[in-house]
Structure 1
Amino acid sequence: MRIIGIDPGYAICGYGIIDVVGSSLKPVTYGVITTEAKTPEASRLEIIFNELSDILEEFRPQKFGIEKLYFARNVTTGIGVAQARGVTLLAASQQDLPIYEYTPLQVKQSVVGYGKATKEQVIYMTMNLLGIREKIKPDDAADALAIAICTAHSSHTDTLKQILQL
């Protein structure tokens, strides 16, 4: 099974694609979609949508995991992120992908086993779980891979629940 994880962002949108082979997780690709600050808002959203649509077409994931939004301090920044998140969801919907949403706490719990893990701990465990030796850069790509891992773990739980209900 192929899974894409998305760390939504307006300036930097992280993506990470993994394959689940039995109980193993294998990295396929990861990176970021970036938009320039001076680019008009609608154009920035179009760039994110078009680039993500191309990635979805090329790699054909079966599941789409994305981070839920939460507003800590800066609501203005949050609006741009929400808009970027919206176009990523639209791209997934147009590919008929099932969408799974997770809070940062759920992702940390799934990847590290501790919901208050630091960013460094999440990156370290993401690298270990995927067998990646070099530090994943930028952090947005690492976060996206962690979201893909969380989606994979969630999928295994869903499968077990279905088996137990039979």
Structure 2
Amino acid sequence: MRVLGVDPGLTRCGLGVVDGRPGKAAMVAVGVVRTPSDGDPGERLVYLERQLESWLARYEPDVMAVERVFADTNITTVMTTAHATAVALLTATKRGIPVVFHTPTEVKAAVTGSGRADKAQVTAMVTRILGLEVAPRPADAADALALAICQAWRGAQLARLDALAAAQGRR
């Protein structure tokens, strides 16, 4: 399964593509889309959309995994993150690519074994899991790869459980 992980943000949006299945993952690509914080918000969103479209066309993911926006005391940060999330959802949906949301705790638990892991631990485990010589930087890039790994591992397991439940007439 090929997964595009998206760590949404309007100033920095992390993108990571992973080919994986439970217990195995290989990095295909990683990057960060940057927009100037003092730029026109509409133009920044259009630029983000173009970059996401380019990644979707180039890497043809089976699914997009996006970090779920969580409440914060800084409403401006929450809103710009929500805008970036909406652009990711829109670009994937236009191409018929399913979008799955994961909380930061889910991603940390999938990658490190602990939902309380800090950013350094997540980056270290992403580096180890993918067999990278250098840790992905900035943290947005590592987080995007962690999202993709989480979906590749957990998403495949959940799909199998759903199929089993459906076959048994439970869903």
TM-score, length basis structure 2: 0.92
1:137 partner amino acid? R
Q: Distance in 1 between matches of 2:99 and 2:107?
A: 15
**What is the 5 A alignment of 1:92-131?**
92-131=92-131
Which segments of structure 1 move beyond 6 Å, counting only runs of 4 or more? Answer: none
The aligned residue for residue 10 of structure 2 is 10
Alignment of 1:132 onto 2:113? no
Is the contact made by 2:106 and 2:115 (CA closer than 8 Å) also made in structure 1?
yes
1:141-163 CA distance string (max 9 Å, x none): 00000000110112221243146
Q: Give structure 2 stretches of 5+ with no counterpart.
A: none
The aligned residue for residue 145 of structure 2 is 145
Q: Among all aligned residue pairs of Structure 1 and Structure 2, give the percentage whose two residues are the same amino acid.
A: 34
**What is the 5 A alignment of 1:23-62?**
23-62=23-62
Is the contact made by 2:21 and 2:153 (CA closer than 8 Å) also made in structure 1?
no
The aligned residue for residue 70 of structure 2 is 70
TM-score, length basis structure 1: 0.95
Q: Give structure 1 stretches of 5+ with no counterpart.
A: none
Q: CA deviation at 1:22?
A: 7.5
